[in-house]
Amino acid sequence: MKKKVFLSVLAALLISVPVFAATQVETTIQATIGADLSITTNIPGTKAIDITASSTTLGSVTISSNLTNWKIVIHSAKGGKMVRVGGSDVYPYLLNFGSTTGIDLASDYEIVKTAPQSPTSTTVVVTYTKASELNPALPAGTYEDTLTISLVAL
């Protein structure tokens, strides 16, 4: 009987103890997204220009970024001129990068971006004077320059 009384008293105490329920729950969720700054191209490693025309399409580049501060840098190893191999004669040209035309690469050309960019394809074209219209004519030979298009996080 003592046992029944003890259990009854214990049950009464548990029932009479107020139960406090939470009124809110808080959690922090996180996602870490790595930086993506990428360029792909269909421009070949070496591209012969058509000297009977006044321009040649090199190909296109596709650029994407999820950064908010970055830039595209276009660099010419020989200052925007094709130089005759084994000589110093030059065949000047200008660059068109998408809708931006007539870029003189005597110094690096930079396009500063302040927002992410979904993959965007841009056509790259060089423009120049037809070889037959150069006065004076250039000496025979191979003229070349190396173009580099880079993406840089700021």
Give the model's pLDDT for residue 10: 52
Q: Tell me, what amino acid is at 138?
A: L
pLDDT over threshold 90, residue 8: no
- Res. 5 pLDDT band, cuts 50 70 90: low
pLDDT in tens, 144-154: 999 999 999 99
Global pTM value? 0.82
| Best CA proximity match to 95, nearest among 63, 59, 119, 64 | 59
> What pLDDT shows up at residue 21?
81
Nearest partner of 144 among 97, 106, 91, judged by Cα: 91
Instruction: State how far the Cα of 64 lies from the Cα of 104, in Å rounded to an integer.
Output: 25
Decide if pLDDT at 41 tops 90: yes
DSSP 83-142: EETTS--EEE-EEEETTEEEE-TTS-EEEEE-S-EEEEEEEEEEE---GGG-SSPPPSS-
Task: Share the mean pLDDT of the chain.
Answer: 92
pLDDT of residue 31: 94
Q: What single-letter amino acid sits at 136?
A: P
Residue 12: strand, helix, or coil? helix
Q: What is the pLDDT of residue 17?
A: 52
Encode pLDDT of 54-90 as tens digits: 999 999 999 999 999 999 999 999 999 999 999 999 9
